[in-house]
Amino acid sequence: MSTDQYPCVFKVDLDKPAEHQPFHNRWHPEIPSVATIQCGSVYTLETIEWTGGQIGNTDDAKDVKTVDLSRIHYLSGPFEIEGAEVDDILVVELIDIQPLKRQPFCYTGVFAKENGGGFLSSFYPEAAKIVYDIDENNIATSRHLPHVKFDGLIHPGIVGVAPSAEQLKEINERELELKRTAKNTEDVSAIGPLVKGAHAGQAKGELFERIAREGLRTIPGRPENAGNCDVKNITAGSRTYLRVNVPGAKLSLGDAHFSMSDGESSFCGAGEMSSIITIRTSLIKNGVDRMKITNPIFLPGKLQKEYPLNRYLTFEGFSVDETGEQKYLCANTAFKQACIKAIEYLRKYGYNDYQIYMFLSSAPLEAHIASIVDVPNACCTLGIPMDIFDFDISPEAEPVKLDMGNCAFVTGADHEVTFDFDKLLKKTKLKNK
Ligand code: ZN
């Protein structure tokens, strides 16, 4: 569809550093609005890839290893929604979302364990990257992941509104409390405000300093203002319902994904790209009270390609971890096990573990909580559409090992590309005897 007939309320300049453009990368009620949007009218806006151009279309993952995570989630907005009042519900209708034609690629990364990490970084601590080329029909293929091809399931990772001043204070308090009391010091439990790397659009002087000091980081989605919820089904045709916390709502969008698996496990895990989004907004007056909508809700968009359900090879994971330790109804452990089992299965075709880890994160896979009550085991599933591969991965087909090339690592660095889960299990059992 042509988007030229609609007014564009946010343009991205790919040749100019993101920090010199009116993006913002913190949530705060006082970030100045960049434009006003009328309900019922259609607009386009452009978004930049989430690191603001720090990671590029190359065969070296050095950019992933050294990425500055204080400067991420450059968001387009905030947009003032005319007529939006506190406790209304803002409806964001996503009419269309397309890759920015001026930058027809997306990438998926594994952050180095010491700089960002990810869901499986205890097993895969090295920085790595897969770059996908996007063709004119929105089909992705990659020189870093041969024999794989899939359609875009294009969506914004971030759709959010400004929190109120009161919510801002509450959120900062509860997240910093978690950080203070976290038992596991190895994992980052919560990320408080950070002045370094803060960007607040056109805010200057004292206002900028206050926003940088108090502004919420954009990593987690939140009940009050949504944000980085990373829901892969907020595609074209979707409707997202957000509570309005400040007059004018102050809507922002960004972090577009060409595709993503449920879970986005590798953290830098979707097909990260720049985009052009077409939206229309409306309001449900006093919707918080009348409709009892307090958390974000949404109606999914239409999938651009649905694989038949019976073509999803589906891995089951349980809350018994990789060392054999029994956990109590832990969906996190169960999902991790489903991912590990998929890696072990796909390895036999010639892919290395990092290629599969990034595939499991960025391809349009379906994950579900199968059960959360059957004590002591939660069961999570991860389904891979078999038709994404140009060879047969079904359990009945004789496995054929192919030349799968390699993903991008840091050039010259030495690293293991396979993790021996069997060995870990045997070792732990022996130790526990
Ligand atoms: Zn993203």
Domains in the chain, CATH or no CATH each: 18-59+68-109+152-299 (2.60.120.580), 309-403 (3.10.28)
Q: How many angstroms is it from 156 CA to the middle of ligand 1?
A: 8
Residue with tokens 């010091």: 185
Specify the DSSP class assigned to residue 8: B
Which residues lie below 8 Å from residue 343, measured CB to CB, with a gap of 6+? Answer: 353, 356, 357, 360
Q: In 381-410, which positions are buried (b, 16+ CB within 10 angstroms) versus exposed (e)?
A: bbbbbbebbeeebeeeeeeeeeebebbbbb
Peptide bond into 376 cis (omega under 30): yes
Helix (H, G, I), strand (E, B) or coil at 34: coil
Which residues lie below 8 Å from residue 310, measured CB to CB, with a gap of 6+? Answer: none
- Residue 404 · residue 355 · CB < 8 Å: yes
Q: How many angstroms is it from 257 CA to the middle of ligand 1?
A: 6
Q: How many angstroms is it from 194 CA to the middle of ligand 1?
A: 20
Task: Calculate the CA dihedral of residues 103, 304, 384, 381 and round it to 10 degrees.
Answer: 110
Q: How many angstroms is it from 188 CA to the middle of ligand 1?
A: 19
d(CA 325, CA 429): 10
How far apart are the two ends of the chain, measured CA to CA in Å? 65
Strand pairing report for 76-81 and 35-37: parallel
Q: How many angstroms is it from 375 CA to the middle of ligand 1?
A: 34
Q: How many angstroms is it from 217 CA to the middle of ligand 1?
A: 14
Q: Which residues surround ligand 1, an ion (CB under 5 A)?
A: 50, 157, 255, 270
> From first to last of its 433 residues, what are the pLDDT tens digits of the chain?
677 899 999 999 999 999 999 999 999 999 999 999 999 999 999 999 999 999 999 999 999 999 999 999 999 999 999 999 999 999 999 999 999 999 999 999 999 999 999 999 999 999 999 999 999 999 999 999 999 999 999 999 999 999 999 999 999 999 999 888 877 655 667 889 999 999 999 999 999 999 999 999 999 999 999 999 999 999 999 999 999 999 999 999 999 999 999 999 999 999 999 999 999 999 999 999 999 999 999 999 986 667 899 999 999 999 999 999 999 999 999 999 999 999 999 999 999 999 999 999 999 999 999 999 999 999 999 999 999 999 999 999 999 999 999 999 999 888 899 999 999 999 998 888 8
Q: How many angstroms is it from 99 CA to the middle of ligand 1?
A: 13
